[in-house]
């Protein structure tokens, strides 16, 4: 069947972006000629035709994706989602031999997992084609012919065609990057948020891979960021107008000459080399000057400029080092960059406090998953009172914080009208063909929806309330109380008490006491005490003391590695003889005189000195006895 992706001359589109950049994206779309532009949460909706679709992908600097909604409906559970998806006429958007991919975003209590939503949508599309043709298109994660986006908020479902493919922040000029590079869309949004459009010099002294520098050059020269990309997803659509797209792609009439310079630097030589390669790839190297030096070594600053930088957040530096770095940033700003407006993207409040300057703007912004802050510092020469007396001010009244912009939330009635725009349009308005399609595909399910549910509501529920409940109260409960409970109390419980429990006490327990326990006490324990323990004491322990220990002492030989002659000398310990006199007997192994140097010296010297004291003591006692005798 021939594929058809018909679109009206004007249709609704949605541009996705980061939180905090909605106002910048709105202004971009209005400048491109978009109609009915409205701000939402991290998105901006607008209307236009194919030309507007191509322009939004080519020219928007702060858009992540451009989506084209094709259907909106309400679903309270995965089964309803599957039914609605299966009813969509997908043959208008792709064929059986096509490939498709699905990206789901879910914020709902009824749908708790985005991957499960993806699976149910995939099943609905596959079953739709299987019912018609007996086979189905294939899923492809990358490079699919048709890329779908499913967005669910509470029970409101929007299915859109993704016209961008890869996210638009992937410009195509970045060859390499440093660790944790800044997103291109976020960098462009911050520059445009400051109000800089190329009317002065631009400085980034901590440029990293050069994202701020390249995006500033594209803004200053008004170069479309999409010209570096290899492809867009809408180029694989059947209604792709190649001639129109090429005319927009090659149109450089809006580009302008940049009369100032862009200056960048970094302390890391590798980062400077990567930034230089990316700048050359973007073909803006004629506008950018790069140096490799730390921020505190900048001695002079270009006149009339703006400074925008993203210092490290401290994940690879110690706490003391990162605070000292921010203190040096504040000192350098006050001494070198006088007359500048410095914009710093940071993460921690204590980092900003270490700068030592009062900010004129504090704007919260998300950098990936980090809740960061963008702050402006107005730098002036001299004292603040003198600066104020000359008419200067550190307040920035022109900065658009977006506080007054109200996000429009659709009521239930407005949502119903919105869903009818997609269900009643020409793409889905061919009712006769759709009815034949439903009967041909699934007859049983049709009967279930129309007939079964109506009969259940009218007939079944009425009969249940009048007849069934009355009979249950009068008859069933009375019979249960009189007969069933009386029989249980009299017969069953009495028989259990008399017979079962008496037999257990008399017979079983008496036999156990008399026979089993008496035999155990008389025979087993007596044999154990007489034979086993006596033999153990007399024979085993004597042999251990007499034979084993003597042989051990006599056979012991100290080991020497120098080949010296071993001299043996028995260890002599004093003992009393039969007369009561202390004498020294040979008792112990033979050891060489140099054994004190072989083993640990401290305990052996201690032991010999102790024995010497004993010998001297007993020798003195013997002398006294001899004199008295």
Burial class of 306 by CB neighbour count within 10 A (0 to 12, 13 to 18, 19+)? buried
Give the distance, in angstroms, between the CA of residue 75 and the centroid of all CA atoms in the same chain.
29
**Secondary structure of residue 344 in the 3-state scheme:** strand
Q: Which domain holds residue 260?
A: 184-227+255-389
**Which residue is it, tokens 């919260």?**
364
Decide if 586 is inside a domain: yes
Total domains present in the chain? 4
CB 419 within 8 A of CB 155: no
Say if residue 305 is in the same domain as residue 203: yes
By DSSP bridging, strand 361-367 and strand 35-40 are: unpaired
Say if residue 149 is in the same domain as residue 208: no
Say if residue 414 is in the same domain as residue 447: no
Say if residue 201 is in the same domain as residue 140: no
Decide if 100 is inside a domain: yes
Decide if 531 is inside a domain: yes
Decide if 401 is inside a domain: no
CB 3 within 8 A of CB 96: no
Decide if 415 is inside a domain: yes
pLDDT tens-digit profile of 569-612?
Answer: 444 455 566 666 555 555 555 555 554 444 444 444 444 455 56
pLDDT tens-digit profile of 111-160?
Answer: 888 899 999 999 999 999 999 888 999 998 888 999 999 999 988 999 99
Residues 6+ apart with CB under 8 A from 475: none
Say if residue 189 is in the same domain as residue 274: yes
> Which residue from 241, 5, 237 is spatially nearest to 144, judged by alpha carbons?
237
Measured CA to CA in angstroms, residue 46 lies from 36, 416, 422 at distances of 5, 19, 16
| Reported confidence tier of residue 16, pLDDT bands at 50, 70, 90 | very high
DSSP secondary structure of 358-395: --SEEEEEEETTEEEEEEEEE--SS-HHHHHHTT----
What is the spatial distance between Cα 413 and Cα 156, in angstroms, rounded to a whole number? 12
Count how many residues are written for the chain: 629
Say if residue 201 is in the same domain as residue 301: yes
Say if residue 458 is in the same domain as residue 580: no
Say if residue 45 is in the same domain as residue 21: yes
Say if residue 213 is in the same domain as residue 347: yes
pLDDT exceeds 90 at position 556:
no
Decide if 5 is inside a domain: no
Q: Is the alpha carbon torsion for 46, 48, 49, 52 positive or negative?
A: negative
DSSP secondary structure of 208-227: TTTHHHHHHHHHHHT--GGG
Say if residue 425 is in the same domain as residue 449: no
pLDDT tens-digit profile of 440-492?
Answer: 444 444 444 544 554 545 444 555 455 555 554 554 555 545 555 555 455 55
DSSP 97: T
* Whole-number average pLDDT of the chain: 76
Decide if 232 is inside a domain: no
Longest CA–CA separation in the chain, Å: 145
Say if residue 263 is in the same domain as residue 367: yes
Say if residue 380 is in the same domain as residue 417: no
State residue 222's pLDDT score.
95
What is the value of pTM for the model shown? 0.66
> Which residue from 236, 285, 238, 240 is spatially nearest to 264, judged by alpha carbons?
285
> pLDDT higher for 537 or 356?
356
**Which residue is it, tokens 């541009």?**
15
Residues 6+ apart with CB under 8 A from 523: none
Task: CATH number of the domain at 65, please.
Answer: 3.30.2130.30
Domain edge (last residue) among 503, 528, 555: 555
Decide if 376 is inside a domain: yes
CB 504 within 8 A of CB 512: no
Domain edge (last residue) among 375, 398, 429: 429
State residue 169's pLDDT score.
94
Domain edge (last residue) among 502, 525, 555: 555
Residue 368 φ then ψ, to 5°:
70, -120
How many Cα atoms occupy the beta-carbon half-sphere of 618 within 13 Å? 15
Task: CATH number of the domain at 363, please.
Answer: 3.40.50.150
């Amino acid at each position: 069947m021939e594929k058809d992706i018909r679109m009206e001359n004007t249709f609704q589109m949605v541009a996705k972006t980061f939180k905090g950049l909605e106002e910048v994206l709105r202004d971009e779309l209005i400048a491109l000629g978009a109609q009915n532009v409205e701000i939402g949460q991290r998105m901006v909706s607008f209307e236009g035709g194919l030309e507007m679709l191509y322009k939004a992908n080519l020219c928007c600097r702060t858009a992540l994706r451009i989506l084209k909604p094709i259907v909106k409906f309400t679903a309270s559970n995965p089964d309803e989602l599957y039914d609605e998806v299966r009813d969509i006429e997908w043959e208008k958007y792709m064929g059986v031999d096509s490939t498709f991919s699905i990206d789901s975003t879910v914020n709902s209590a009824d749908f708790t997992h985005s991957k499960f939503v993806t699976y149910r949508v995939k099943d609905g599309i596959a079953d739709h084609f299987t019912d018609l043709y007996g086979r189905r298109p294939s899923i492809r994660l990358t490079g699919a012919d048709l890329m779908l986006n499913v967005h669910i908020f509470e029970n409101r479902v929007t299915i859109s065609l993704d016209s961008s493919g890869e996210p638009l922040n992937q410009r195509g000029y970045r060859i390499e990057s440093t660790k944790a590079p800044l997103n291109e869309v976020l960098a462009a949004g911050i520059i445009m948020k400051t109000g800089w459009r190329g009317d002065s010099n631009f400085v980034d002294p901590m440029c990293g891979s050069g994202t701020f520098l390249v995006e500033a050059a594209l803004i200053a020269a008004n170069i479309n960021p999409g010209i570096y990309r290899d492809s867009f997803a809408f180029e694989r659509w059947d209604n792709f107008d190649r001639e129109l797209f090429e005319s927009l792609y090659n149109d450089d009439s809006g580009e302008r000459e940049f009369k100032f310079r862009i200056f960048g630097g970094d302390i890391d030589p590798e980062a400077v080399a990567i930034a230089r390669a990316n700048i050359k790839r973007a073909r803006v190297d004629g506008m950018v000057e790069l140096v490799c030096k730390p921020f505190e070594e900048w001695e002079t600053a270009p006149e009339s400029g703006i400074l925008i930088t993203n210092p490290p957040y401290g994940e690879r530096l110690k706490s003391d080092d990162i605070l000292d770095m921010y203190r040096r940033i504040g000192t350098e700003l006050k001494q070198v960059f006088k007359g500048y407006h410095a914009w710093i993207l940071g993460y921690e409040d204590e980092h900003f406090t270490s700068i030592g300057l009062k900010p004129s703007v504090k704007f919260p912004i998300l950098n990936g998953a980090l809740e960061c802050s963008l702050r402006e510092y107005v730098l002036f020469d001299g004292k603040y009172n003198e600066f104020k007396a000359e008419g200067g001010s550190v307040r920035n009244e022109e900065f658009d914080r977006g506080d007054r912009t109200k996000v429009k939330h659709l009521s239930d009635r407005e949502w119903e009208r919105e869903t009818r725009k997609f269900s009643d349009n020409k793409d889905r308005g061919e009712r006769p063909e759709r009815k034949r399609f439903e009967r041909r595909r699934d007859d049983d399910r049709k009967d279930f929806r129309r007939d079964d549910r109506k009969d259940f509501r009218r007939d079944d529920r009425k009969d249940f309330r009048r007849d069934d409940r009355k009979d249950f109260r009068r008859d069933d409960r009375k019979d249960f109380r009189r007969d069933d409970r009386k029989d249980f109390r009299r017969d069953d419980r009495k028989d259990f008490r008399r017979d079962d429990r008496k037999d257990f006490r008399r017979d079983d327990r008496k036999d156990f006491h008399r026979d089993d326990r008496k035999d155990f006490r008389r025979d087993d324990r007596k044999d154990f005490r007489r034979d086993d323990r006596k033999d153990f004491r007399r024979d085993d322990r004597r042999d251990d003391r007499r034979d084993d220990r003597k042989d051990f002492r006599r056979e012991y030989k100290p080991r020497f590695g120098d080949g010296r002659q071993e001299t043996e000398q028995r260890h002599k310990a004093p003992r009393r003889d039969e007369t009561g006199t202390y004498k020294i007997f040979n008792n112990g192994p033979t050891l060489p005189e140099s054994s004190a140097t072989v083993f640990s010296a401290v305990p052996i010297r201690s032991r010999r000195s102790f024995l010497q004291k004993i010998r001297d003591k007993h020798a003195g006692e013997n002398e006294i006895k001899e004199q008295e005798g």
